[in-house]
Structure 1
Amino acid sequence: MHRFKDLGIWKLSRQFCSQIYVTTANFPDNEKFGLTNQLRRASVSVPSNIAEGCSRSSNKDFSRFLEIAIGSIYEIETQLLIAFDLGFIDQLKLDELIHDLETIVKMISKFRSTLQV
């Protein structure tokens, strides 16, 4: 078992989640149950799956939860691109958030490769 609070991937994904909340606070009110909700839920899913995976008794199970976290990251990227297309975020913010997502994916992938499954 791993201590999720000690993992850099958990810390970074938690910070990213906060960025998503701040960013979506500026979305139109009529998106409250649309993209705002979807982005927030998917961003919460990333650190949550990392934490839940840490509780598993095998590295194989933990690796599966890390895989789910990566899936949520790709979901977030798609939703951010749609938000950009709709004019809810500008190019600079989009680039910043996608860069952060790519960093998290690389960290998770590297960490997964160290697990003995």
Structure 2
Amino acid sequence: MARSHRELTVWRKGLDLACKVYELTRKMPKEEMYRMSGQIIRCSASIPANVAEGNARGTRRDYAHFVSIARGSAAELETFLLIIKRLGLAPDSDVDDLLAQSEEVGRMLTALRSSLSPNP
């Protein structure tokens, strides 16, 4: 395990993703601030937060659990981004970029989760 979550590429990319989601919400209609915007901000911030919390835990099992939660948040974010795109609430190019980033982070989380599993 990494000594600090800050050493993890997946944490840094998750943090970048969360910041870009914040930027996207600024482009969305104001009436969405307490609806869709709040949802995607929470689930995007949850990704690096859960990686950090899991890394700080004492066991691989706990770490794997929090990485699984982060994976769930990444899937949730992807779903919200697709809804935003379908409803035309933000520019398609911005949403597409975030979808690509969230897919990359999701793959990285899956790999991290696999690396934490005990070998059979």
What TM-score, normalized by structure 1, do the two folds share? 0.93
Equivalence for 1:34: 35
Equivalence for 1:85: 86
Equivalence for 1:4: 5
Q: Which amino acid aligns with 1:77?
A: E
Q: Which runs of 5+ in 2 are unaligned?
A: none
1:23-66: CA deviations, max 9, x gaps? 01111111111000000011110000000001111101100100
State whether structure 2 residue 99 is matched by structure 1 residue 98: yes
Give 4+ residue runs of structure 1 displaced > 4 Å after superposition.
none
Provide the secondary structure at the position in 1 that maps to 2:34.
Answer: coil
Q: Which amino acid aligns with 2:74?
A: I
Identity of aligned residues (%): 32
Q: How many residues align?
A: 117
Equivalence for 1:22: 23
Equivalence for 1:110: 111
CA displacement at 1:5 relative to structure 2? 0.6
1:74-111: CA deviations, max 9, x gaps? 11111111111221123322221111111111111112
Contact between 2:64 and 2:117, CA under 8 Å: does it hold in 1? no
Q: Which runs of 5+ in 1 are unaligned?
A: none
CA distance in 2: counterparts of 1:92 and 1:58, whole angstroms: 40
